[in-house]
Structure 1
């Protein structure tokens, strides 16, 4: 019979007080097995190569955008400030799980300690929550730029941009902290096998041998706050944007206005489309689709973000040419 287990959350999150009150257990002594696609070793070797290439693209693409934004004064605008935050977020998010996942692809024992599992879960949850809010902030920036262009420099001041970015990160951290604390207080018994590539919170909660209704309620509340509310704000912003753009007389003006929003709309569609399907779809016994969808919004989206934002962006192209020319002349 599984007894309730109380966790003492210390500053270093190190000691767990187990059901046996006279015994203390280190977090590093508790291990989970990440199942992933262990039944298909050839598929895992293929995924290792795919992850390696995609991770290199993620690091290169997002780092380049951050460097260009810092070095080129023409990119010192609110839109590129938020885009730099998004790129930095994507680097942290993917770095929290891709390297360890690649190691597990090549190892027979896919073990992970409870400490590493909790850190991985909390970091990825923080980044995902922050991105939801940040995408809504970027939609507001586009709304002000197109609907109130004359007041744009005044409204989107440097101080406001920093406050909005800090709010995004702060809310994401608080949501992750709440969900993580509630998750690690659960007792686990039986085989500790996580049916996923990573320590994903839904797969983690399925291992608990007690009632998880409180976790489900907080997760549902978090989904409403960090998925539906930002998505609603994004939709409202683009309703006003569309209304404003359609009133523009010249076709060139409408095209230019739409082009400034096309990248953001594409990223929002990819991110929310995959993550909403992942968390809202009916539960099923077959979790292979869940893993592939998690791969989509966990790896593919961060890889495509810098490509989407720079593909048809002349400002980014000019900044890249300027930086390349500068490095060429230094070497010359």
Structure 2
């Protein structure tokens, strides 16, 4: 047994032992050792590479699994990737931000559908009730009264439907491009509503200058009209409203509408641009004595500004009131606009 073990040890030693007698033997030995070293390093690199790649791709697997599992009903889920602030972490944070925006968009769409159905269903139900009561009454005066009530409800339903059509048109970008003088448009609309402002006890001013933009004249008229109407509707007796149009140094055209009124915070102002959200939910509110509106005015403004590649900012004023500022790309060079 001892002889056999000693013989095996000599065999192994013989495998590792290389006799170098000449230069050729040295080169052969060097080649052999180099080949063995390269093979060992290759195997080590494969193992280390497989381990490192697995560690690096683990976050990507988590991102892929999370995004695959997210659907309309699970938009609240987030990747929430932990670890160093590298490119993969930045990708995960970007996807989380996109999911947050998608969740808000889906929620707004659901609220819009629910509110739209409510706004259109309520007048129809009221019309049906009025007709049933009028037809059941033998008094002809009840029919005349029902007629006037139906006319009011029909007018409100028509206004809501037209506002929804304008909103859909602005969202889909079906615009007629033509040069429009926004300053002249604002001046014309302010002159038209001046009697309403005086009747409501609101001081309306409109320092406007020629300011040309490329866009849809019908939608831009709706944009200015909604902002002016909002400034008068949500105001108080003895309050002020100001509409200013001009051109900034960089050539962009601005429209600013500022009014006094209720005390607001930034969250309320941001929600005011959601469809069917009213700044004043009262049926008869504000200084004008008109209905509070269908809650689509500022949402239409936002869609029209977006369709014209403009920017929209709204902020509460101190101590009360609201300022809405719109910037649009210029439509004509300054020289042509002046001419």
Q: Rg larger in 1 or in 2?
A: 2
Question: TM-score w.r.t. structure 1 length?
Answer: 0.27
Question: TM-score w.r.t. structure 2 length?
Answer: 0.27
The structure that is helix-richer by fraction is: 1
